[in-house]
């Protein structure tokens, strides 16, 4: 029973480190990177003036009435 806590803590510390490292890697490559690519693809072809004119024509903007 001697040093039981120290042995168990060492095991759990290493286990927690590797689990957290795995979760971070899964988040980065499973969520963050695809999200970055989606935003980059969207803004590659995005025309803000065209979007503004569409919102203006729909009457969404109060400060810019439709023509």
Closest CA to 51 of 43, 63, 41: 43
Task: Tell me if residue 28 falls in helix, strand or coil.
Answer: helix
Regarding pTM above 0.75, the answer is no
Alpha-helical segments (H) within the chain: 4-27, 33-44, 48-58
Q: Which residues does 13 contact at the CB level (< 8 Å), separation at least 6?
A: none
Average pLDDT over residues 10-19: 96
Tokens representing 7 are: 């042995």
What confidence tens digit (pLDDT) does each residue in 17-51 have? 999 999 999 999 999 999 999 999 999 999 999 99
Which domains does the chain show, CATH number per domain? 4-58 (4.10.93.10)
């Amino acid at each position: 029973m001697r040093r039981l806590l120290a042995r168990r803590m060492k095991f759990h510390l290493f286990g927690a480190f590797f689990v957290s490292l795995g979760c971070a890697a899964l988040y980065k490559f499973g969520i963050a990177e695809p999200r970055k690519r989606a935003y980059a693809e969207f803004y590659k072809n995005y025309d803000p003036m065209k979007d503004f004119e569409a919102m203006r024509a729909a009457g969404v903007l109060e400060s810019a009435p439709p023509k």
